[in-house]
Amino acid sequence: MLLHVIARGKIARSPEAELVARYEKRIAWPLKLTELPETGGRVAEALTPCRTVLLDEKGKDLSSEHLAEILEKWRDGGIRECCFFIGAADGHSQAERDGADLLIAFGKATWPHLLVRAMLLEQLFRATAILAGHPYHRAG
C-alpha cells in the first residue's frame, strides 16, 4: 500500500525538512510526499481503492500499535493507497473532515504543520517497523 503524505506549506531547507528526510529514508513501504500551497492546489488522483486520513486536533488519539493495526488491516484488505492530509494555518474544512475515513490527532495541542509533517513521518516509520518486527519500537 502506498503511503501518500499530502501537506500544505513549503518546508524548504529547515530542521523539520531534515527530520522528514531522516524518516522518509527509513520507511520501507512505498512512500510519496506531495507539497501543496497554503490554499488551493491539486493532488493526482489516488490509486483505488484508497483511504483518506486527516491529521487534525479533533481526531482520535491513537497509540502507535493501533495505527500499525489499521494500516495492516487496510493493506491486507487490498487498499492500494492511503492519503494523509496535513492542513495549513486554517486547518481542514468540516466537509473534508466528514469525507475522511479517519482523523488522527497527536494530542489536543495545536502543532505547527511542518512539525506535524515530521511527526507523521516518524509515526509511519514506527508503525511499519512494528509490522515488520523491527526493534525500533519498544512497547511501554
Ligand X SMILES: C[S@@+](CC[C@H](N)C(=O)[O-])C[C@H]1O[C@@H](n2cnc3c(N)ncnc32)[C@H](O)[C@@H]1O
Contact set with ligand X (CB under 6 A): 55-57, 86-92, 105-107, 109-113, 116
How far apart are CB 121 and ligand X at their closest, in Å?
13
Q: Would you call 53 exposed, middle or buried from its count of C-beta atoms within 10 A (0-12, 13-18, 19+)?
A: buried
- The residue among 5 and 31 lying less far from ligand X, judged by its C-beta, is 5
Rank residues 55 and 79 by Cβ distance to ligand X and give the closer one: 55
Q: Which of 27, 18, 98 is nearest to 58 (CA)?
A: 98
Q: Give whole-number Cα distances, 94 to 58, 90, 97, 98, 103, in Å.
A: 11, 12, 5, 6, 12
CB of 92 to ligand X, least distance (A): 6
Asked whether residue 87 is marked as a ligand-binding residue, the answer is yes
- Annotated binding residues, written as ranges, equal 55, 87
- Annotated binding residues for S-adenosyl-L-methionine, written as ranges, equal 55, 87
